[in-house]
Amino acid sequence: MGRRVLVTGGAGYVGSHIAVELARAGHALVVLDNFVNSSPAALDALRRLTGQSLPLVAADVRDRAALKALFARHAIDAVVHCAGLKAIREGEAKPLAYYDSNVGGAIALVDAMTAAGVKTLVFSSSATVYGQPDANPVSEDAPLQPGSVYGRTKRTVELLLEDTARSDRQWRVALLRYFNPAGAHPSGEIGEAPSSAAENLVPILAEVAAGRRQEIEVYGDDYPTADGTGVRDYIHVADLAEGHVAALAHLARQPGVTVLNLGMGRGCSVLEVIAAFERACGRQLRRRVVARRPGDVAMYYADPARANALLGWRARRDLDAICVDAWRWTGRR
Ligand SMILES: NC(=O)c1ccc[n+]([C@@H]2O[C@H](COP(=O)([O-])OP(=O)(O)OC[C@H]3O[C@@H](n4cnc5c(N)ncnc54)[C@H](O)[C@@H]3O)[C@@H](O)[C@H]2O)c1
The per-residue pLDDT string of the chain (333 residues; one tens digit each, 9 = 90 and over) reads 689 999 999 999 999 999 999 999 999 999 999 999 999 999 999 999 999 999 999 999 999 999 999 999 999 999 999 999 999 989 999 999 999 999 999 999 999 999 999 999 999 999 999 999 999 999 999 999 999 999 999 999 999 999 999 999 999 999 999 999 999 999 999 999 878 878 899 999 999 999 999 999 999 999 999 999 999 999 999 999 999 999 999 999 999 999 999 999 999 999 999 999 999 999 999 999 999 988 888 999 999 999 999 999 999 999 999 999 999 999 777
Using most ligand atoms within 8 A of CB, pick from 16, 17, 21, 33 the residue to mutate for ligand 1: 33
Instruction: Spell out which residues line ligand 1, taking CB within 6 angstroms.
Output: 9, 11-15, 33-38, 60-62, 82-86, 101, 105, 124, 126, 178, 180-181
- Confidence (pLDDT) at 72: 98
Residue identifier of the C-alpha nearest atom 26 of ligand 1:
83
For residue 38, how far is its CA from the centre of ligand 1 (angstroms)?
9
- Confidence (pLDDT) at 295: 80
- Confidence (pLDDT) at 196: 80
For residue 227, how far is its CA from the centre of ligand 1 (angstroms)?
32
Residue identifier of the C-alpha nearest atom 36 of ligand 1:
37
- Confidence (pLDDT) at 1: 66
Residue identifier of the C-alpha nearest atom 27 of ligand 1:
84
For residue 284, how far is its CA from the centre of ligand 1 (angstroms)?
31
Using most ligand atoms within 8 A of CB, pick from 7, 8, 37, 240 the residue to mutate for ligand 1: 37
Nearest atom of ligand 1 to the alpha carbon of 16: 16
Nearest atom of ligand 1 to the alpha carbon of 194: 20
Report the C-alpha gap between 284 and 167 in whole angstroms: 56
- Confidence (pLDDT) at 138: 98
- Confidence (pLDDT) at 198: 83
Using most ligand atoms within 8 A of CB, pick from 57, 89, 124, 177 the residue to mutate for ligand 1: 124
- Confidence (pLDDT) at 279: 97
Listed in sequence order, the residues at least 6 apart from 253 whose beta carbon sits closer than 8 Å to its beta carbon are none
Report the C-alpha gap between 67 and 6 in whole angstroms: 11
Residue 150 annotated to the active site: yes
- Confidence (pLDDT) at 114: 98
Spell out the long-range contacts of 204-211 with Cβ–Cβ below 8 A and sequence spacing 24 or more.
Answer: 205/273, 205/274, 205/277, 205/285, 205/323, 205/326, 206/277, 206/326, 206/327, 206/329, 206/330, 207/330, 208/285, 208/286, 209/277, 209/281, 209/283, 209/285, 209/327, 209/330, 210/330, 210/331
Listed in sequence order, the residues at least 6 apart from 327 whose beta carbon sits closer than 8 Å to its beta carbon are 206, 209, 277, 280, 281
- Catalytic residue chosen out of the listed positions 13, 150, 178, 301: 150
Nearest atom of ligand 1 to the alpha carbon of 125: 7
* Residues facing residue 57 across a β-bridge: 32
Residue identifier of the C-alpha nearest atom 2 of ligand 1:
181
For residue 84, how far is its CA from the centre of ligand 1 (angstroms)?
5
Residue identifier of the C-alpha nearest atom 21 of ligand 1:
12
Residue identifier of the C-alpha nearest atom 11 of ligand 1:
82
